[in-house]
Amino acid sequence: MSRLARIAVASVAVAAFGLTMMATGSFAADPANGKKVFAANCVVCHGDKGDGHGPASATMNPKPRDFTSATEMKGIDDARLHKSISEGRPGTAMVGFAKTLKASDIDDVIAHIKSLLKK
């Protein structure tokens, strides 16, 4: 095979792999970026450990969610996380981030939040 043909075959393989990953939705989110997004946008309320005790949380009612608590996070699946982070929680201090964060940042911050859960 010529060098060019080999490059062409390799590119097709890479593209096919990418499409498969997209189709199966298994493109890995990036928790390291999620941590940065969290630090910049969420810690004031949720706290740097994600336990809901950020500096601004004291007077809030309801309190920011404790992402380390299996009890508090029970039943909150990815779809709900996505909706709450994008659109906020009406009637609470939890604002929506659909306008301020990229879609990939929201996916990444979800991966970070899920890593905080104590098993």
Q: In angstroms, give the least distance from the CB of 98 to ligand HEC.
A: 11
Peptide bond into 62 cis (omega under 30): yes
If you write DSSP's letter for every residue of 93-110 in order, what string do you get?
S-B--TTTS-HHHHHHHH
CA pair distance 56, 12, nearest whole angstrom: 51
Q: Is 41 in the site for ligand HEC (CB under 6 A)?
A: yes
CA pair distance 19, 116, nearest whole angstrom: 30
Q: Which amino acid is at 56?
A: A
Select from 31, 36, 69, 76 the one that contacts ligand HEC (CB under 6 A): 76
Q: Is 98 in the site for ligand HEC (CB under 6 A)?
A: no
Q: Is 81 in the site for ligand HEC (CB under 6 A)?
A: yes
Of 18 and 62, nearer to ligand HEC (C-beta) is 62
Which residue ranges make up the site for ligand HEC (CB under 6 A)? 41-42, 44-46, 56, 60, 62, 64-65, 76, 80-81, 84-85, 89, 92-94, 97, 109, 113
